[in-house]
Amino acid sequence: MLCYNARQHTEKWVLAIPLIHLLRGQSKPFEPVPPDMNPKCHDWIEVGRSKGTHFNRDPRIHIKTMKEHAYLMDIDRLLLFSWMSLLPVDDAMSFISSMGVELLDILKYLQISIKADMTHSTYMALKDLASNLIRRESNRKKSFDDEYGEHCLKSAVRLHGSICCYIKTPDRCDVPLQFLDLVCLIAQAYGHTDSQTRERILEESIGETLGTIEEWRKSTFKNKLLNDWGQLSVSDEIRVWKKLLSVSFSHDGLTSSWSNKFMNDFEGKLKREKPTDQIGLFCKMVEELSEESPLLCSTMEKCAVEAVAGICQESKFVFF
């Protein structure tokens, strides 16, 4: 009732949330929120989108209120996540960039905020958010502690799974690949120790990510690699293969397994094309790929050489 009345009478109703947290016993003043805590913030998402609320008029008004009262987040450590959960993804960047939001909070926020019916503006917002997070994590100087790092990695893997589930059109393939980059960066930072526990968690997380991206690739690029004229059916597909074969982790064994998996997948798809088309594609792209993606280039070369051998064998058989 408190929340309902506040929403009906003031645009600053978001300032009542710390009191509601206290009354519900969800947080205690000045006490940190454990990394494994899963706040019931879906309630706030529904509140923010519900009919009659002031929030769905202009989120910028509420972002301004939140920034002006940022000191409340020092008292109620759950408030940051509750406020974020009210924001549509399209408007989250302004809040995140100005409030110094931690990685784990952003990952959890995105996980509960993205939807299947994704608009173009949401897609562009995700693209900007991914770029921002990649830039931040690329410059990370402080290593993860065990618990926080584990939750960041697992949250990033789950988020990447949702992104791949909701974005399956070739013209938007950059966002799933960006979030794959983010998973890799977190995995590199988390797995940069000799801890057996971390190694096990890393292997499980990378295994899940590999399965996710493999399924996404098959769903997004269903057609043959080449069309009837020997040209790429979807130009973006080669860019995806380049990315998949450039992935690197702190663990050499995981990197090698990942690379071998996708080299074999690409080889299998390319070999479904005509031998002359396999040769033509290699000749066309060898100069570009030899610099940009040596693994992809070597796989194409292998297919082309085998195609040449096959053609020569057939010609010899016909001649005799």
Torsion of CA 258, 259, 261, 266, to 10 degrees: 140
pLDDT in tens, 156-185: 999 999 999 999 999 999 999 999 999 999
pLDDT of residue 57: 57
pLDDT greater than 50 at residue 320 = no
pLDDT at position 168:
93
**Selected residue with higher pLDDT from 194 and 76:** 76
- pTM (2 d.p.): 0.90
Strand partners, 226: 232
Q: Find which of 175-184, 223-232, 287-296, 303-312 is predicted with most confidence, using mean pLDDT.
A: 175-184
Asked if pLDDT for residue 54 goes beyond 50, the answer is no
pLDDT at 313 over 50: yes
The rounded distance, in Å, linking the Cα atoms of 291 and 296 is: 10
Kindly calculate the radius of gyration of the chain based on its CA atoms and give it in whole angstroms: 24
Provide mean pLDDT across the span 284-307: 94
Contact 44, 85 (CB under 8 A): yes
What is the band of 39 on the pLDDT scale with cuts at 50, 70, 90?
A: low
pLDDT at 191: 78
| Average pLDDT value for the chain | 88
**Which whole number is the average pLDDT over 307-312?**
90
Segment of 41-50, 158-167, 222-231, 308-317 carrying the highest mean pLDDT: 158-167
Distance of CA 189 to the CA centre of its chain: 16
Is 26 in contact with 78 (CB distance < 8 Å)?
A: yes
User: Where does the pLDDT of residue 25 fall: very low under 50, low under 70, confident under 90, or very high at 90 and above?
Assistant: confident
pLDDT of residue 319 exceeding 60, the answer is no
Which residues, in sequence order, are CB contacts of 105 under 8 Å at separation 6+?
A: 80, 81, 84
